[in-house]
Structure 1
């Protein structure tokens, strides 16, 4: 544990470095932060902080920069929490409510807003279809033997597919079949569609039942996994840490790996989480920090979102913005019920 003076010096170095992206010297700290001690004393404290792993010196003649350990202590013990304002909430809500009727569009918009608010790269993991609940089925005649199947899954996911039947069905027959299918499927989650339920659908609804089973088992199988949406890639590439072409290239390649982000954002714990530098297991993002949170429907976690940027980020503001987007998305998804 650091004493009060070392903590104040560390905080000053970190906040200066976040602002300027330049190594910080003792004279700068003495001039800007008025810690009540001489530059020589600050220099000694910075040397101690370097020796204990909280600061690093990139070059012999340079000032100091924070280490991952320094950032971690800052986030856990020194950072002044920041809350989003009512005006920020109203602005985000007014943008997201435009996509209220379709969950996929709403989730994508959440990622775009998060990237814009933080000027960072944003990632949103959408829930897999197997977590969703059947809300409504409708069969609509297209022509003599083509039927449009409309599936509405909660919360507000719509899937459409035109299927061809062996015989023609009248509008009245399709209405009756739709009623029966709704009675059978409403309230069931996709993952609960076991062999017994599927056999019952075929047995009770004949050819239309067979078509429905084909659609449910094969037509939607490619959507069983979580979807990963990303936004704001150019924001992170504008940071001075990524002016190096090779470093930028390595990050871009990592950014395209869906499994990487599913693993990094896959925790179900509530609240905002911060992973700093080498706390991230993938070597190509160990110069970065992640700020992530889960979002939910009625308290049940269904997905996660977050931002990625250099370790030199405004952690308090990032945490506040991630919390704002996650809580607003959760509110809108819950209201869809």
Structure 2
């Protein structure tokens, strides 16, 4: 534990470095930390914080910068996760007021929303869809040869697939209606992606349409690998000066399995923030993760912010907290 003076000094260094990305000197801290002590006293305290591993000095005569340990103390000492300002709060409200439709689109849009709120890269993983069921399935005739399959899932999301029946097709509305009714009676309430074929109806035209629709739904279902949606990856390029670091970070963000494993590991360790080397992935040693789960009728997905270790942690925690709660609610209510 640090005493009050060291805590105030460390907080001042972290907050200034987050803002400027420049080493912080004792004179600045003496002015900004609200302590009635001289720069020399602050300098002595900063030397002790450096010896204890909370600060480091990039080079002789430079100011100090926080270490991962310093950031960890700062994050753990936050009494609240911060709050979104009115503009960002309104962005979230407006987004979820109009958010609906296919699960893939909604999660992709959410990742871009979160990236826009924080100016960092955002990652959203789909909820575990193994237990999702088909709440309702129907066919909609778009033309004599084009039919749309519309499925409402148990988490409220909607999957749509278009069936092109071929240039010689001429399917009547009666056949589409009969196939839709047969499909609904066979699949409503079943697990999404089940390969068990619906029973035959005895009408070849209806059975052909039902078979095509069933195959389309099976193909659209998750295969067991987690779906990952990344928004704002290009923002990471602006966060780092070293080209090599940027390249490593972007490479990791393209590896979905690595991202999913990383987010799960952070949550399994009971963390909402993983700083620098805490997450154990060397290419992301200069990055921090802010992670939160969201629940959809017992199924869990994850959202996260990936940014430099000098991120605005209070704002990142606020954004991730608000968006995860609203996303889970929207999907559960079938928004």
- TM-score scaled to structure 1, two decimals? 0.84
Shift of 1:24: 1.4
The aligned residue for residue 289 of structure 1 is 288
- The structure-2 alpha-carbon separation of the partners of 1:79 and 1:65, relative to structure 1 and needing over 3 Å to count, comes to farther
- The structure-2 alpha-carbon separation of the partners of 1:249 and 1:270, relative to structure 1 and needing over 3 Å to count, comes to closer
Whole-angstrom distance in 2 between the partners of 1:21 and 1:39: 21
Shift of 1:228: 1.6
C-alpha offsets along residues 95-140 of structure 1, whole Å, 9 cap, x if unaligned? Answer: 3333323333222222112111111111111236544321222235
- The structure-2 alpha-carbon separation of the partners of 1:189 and 1:236, relative to structure 1 and needing over 3 Å to count, comes to same
The aligned residue for residue 188 of structure 2 is 186
C-alpha offsets along residues 266-313 of structure 1, whole Å, 9 cap, x if unaligned? Answer: 366799811100012221111000112122235x34321111111011
| Counterpart among 245, 259, 279 of residue 247 in structure 1 | 245
Shift of 1:37: 1.9
Whole-angstrom distance in 2 between the partners of 1:80 and 1:48: 28
For the 8 Å contact 1:148–1:162, the answer to whether it is kept is yes
Structure (1 or 2) with the greater helix fraction: 1
Matches within 5 A, 1:264-275: 264-266=262-264, 273-275=272-274
- The structure-2 alpha-carbon separation of the partners of 1:321 and 1:90, relative to structure 1 and needing over 3 Å to count, comes to same
SS at match of 1:100: coil
More off after superposition, 77-86 vs 257-266: 77-86
RMSD: 3.1
The number of residues matched between the two structures is 327
The aligned residue for residue 108 of structure 2 is 108
Whole-angstrom distance in 1 between the partners of 2:210 and 2:149: 14
For the 8 Å contact 2:23–2:64, the answer to whether it is kept is yes
The aligned residue for residue 308 of structure 2 is 310
Matches within 5 A, 1:57-136: 57-78=57-78, 81-85=81-85, 88-127=88-127, 129-136=129-136
- The structure-2 alpha-carbon separation of the partners of 1:224 and 1:78, relative to structure 1 and needing over 3 Å to count, comes to closer
SS at match of 2:321: helix
For the 8 Å contact 1:104–1:157, the answer to whether it is kept is no
For the 8 Å contact 1:294–1:301, the answer to whether it is kept is no
More off after superposition, 119-128 vs 277-286: 119-128
**Which runs of 5 or more structure 1 residues have no equivalent in the other structure?**
none
Whole-angstrom distance in 2 between the partners of 1:185 and 1:120: 41
Whole-angstrom distance in 2 between the partners of 1:182 and 1:204: 13
More off after superposition, 78-87 vs 319-328: 78-87
Whole-angstrom distance in 1 between the partners of 2:46 and 2:10: 8
Shift of 1:186: 1.7
The aligned residue for residue 138 of structure 2 is 138
C-alpha offsets along residues 66-111 of structure 1, whole Å, 9 cap, x if unaligned? Answer: 1111111111124654123566433322133333233332222221
- TM-score scaled to structure 2, two decimals? 0.85
Whole-angstrom distance in 2 between the partners of 1:48 and 1:24: 15
The aligned residue for residue 319 of structure 1 is 317
Shift of 1:233: 2.4
For the 8 Å contact 1:289–1:310, the answer to whether it is kept is yes
For the 8 Å contact 1:137–1:182, the answer to whether it is kept is yes
* Pair 1:9 & 2:9 matched: yes
Whole-angstrom distance in 2 between the partners of 1:237 and 1:79: 31
